Amino acid sequence: MHKAATASPWNLGVLLSGTGRTLENLIAAIERGDLDARIPVVISSVPGARGIEIAGRAGIPARVIRRGDFDSVEAYSTAMYEALAPYDIDLIVMAGYLRKLSIEPEWEGRVLNIHPCLLPEAAEYAAGKGMYGDRVHAAVLAHGDIVSGCTVHLVTNEFDAGPPMAKIEVPVLPDDSVATLGARVFVEETRLYPETIREYMHAHPHLKRSALVNG
């Protein structure tokens, strides 16, 4: 006989490459009770990234796995999944992660990302390989957009091409710089990402590896 799962939090494996601002935001959302989850491990693609320090302050184990140590995306991705395996990860959450991860069949629908512009609207000039952070905002300004924003999407095997799940628009002001536009977008990112993760968990209970317990 089976019964519904105990109300244990979801395990989020966070991948990052930089400052850890998004990790900080997720930790804060969890601490406030806005997100019924825990982060048992953080993996950085960059040694010395500030995100590793953020993880350490929160008591979260952190690993560094560099793409350059592997001959192929597939070998690198296998190492990433092997590092996550001991932690029973339910969802992988990219948080300023700048490397390509090959999505194996068992992880389809289990990897989320947030991108700092509107997708697919700005995909041709502000998304894809090498487009992240200030580069995205610079591309939006150069294109002359009057609206930008942020988008949470599922991750597939193409950069920033997975199905959008949620987005928020922000105005692009006439006197915006990369810094001012980026700051305005990030404010909305801090709200959108935890909300979308929460809604996704609620809508996809079958993705939780401990969804059923023996009764």
Q: How many whole angstroms separate alpha carbon 124 and alpha carbon 1? A: 51
Beta bridge partners of 179: none
Do 158 and 178 belong together in one domain?
A: yes
pLDDT classification of 1: cutoffs 50, 70, 90: very low
Q: What is the mean pLDDT of the segment spanning 148-163? A: 96
| pLDDT (tens digit per residue) in 72-94 | 999 999 999 999 999 999 999 99
Helices 21-32 and 50-57 meet at what angle, rounded to 10?
A: 20
Do 14 and 91 belong together in one domain?
A: yes
| pLDDT (tens digit per residue) in 165-203 | 999 999 999 999 999 999 999 999 999 999 999 999 999
pLDDT classification of 117: cutoffs 50, 70, 90: very high
Do 142 and 171 belong together in one domain?
A: yes
Do 18 and 75 belong together in one domain?
A: yes
Do 67 and 118 belong together in one domain?
A: no
Q: Is 206 a catalytic residue?
A: no
Q: Whose structure tokens read 């105990």?
A: 6
* CATH of residue 47: 3.40.50.170
Q: Which helix (H) or strand (E) covers residue 150, if one does?
A: strand 147-154
Boundary-marking domain end, from 61, 82, 102? 102
**Structural domain containing residue 186:** 114-190
pLDDT classification of 214: cutoffs 50, 70, 90: very low
Geometric angle at alpha carbon 69, from 63 and 72, rounded to 5°: 115
Do 158 and 132 belong together in one domain?
A: yes
Q: Residue 84's pLDDT is what?
A: 97
Set 115, 143, 202, 206: catalytic member = 115
Q: Residue 38's pLDDT is what?
A: 97
Q: Residue 44's pLDDT is what?
A: 98
Omega before residue 9 within 30° of 0, cis: no
Q: Residue 202's pLDDT is what?
A: 96
Boundary-marking domain end, from 102, 132, 166? 102
At 59 the three-state DSSP class reads coil
Q: Residue 209's pLDDT is what?
A: 82
Predicted TM-score (pTM) of this structure: 0.92
Q: How many whole angstroms separate alpha carbon 53 and alpha carbon 62? A: 9
pLDDT classification of 25: cutoffs 50, 70, 90: very high
Q: Is residue 76 part of a domain?
A: yes
Residue 201 is which amino acid? Answer: M
Q: Is residue 109 part of a domain?
A: no
Q: Among residues of the chain, what percentage have pLDDT more than 90?
A: 93
Domains in the chain: how many in total? 2
Q: Residue 154's pLDDT is what?
A: 98
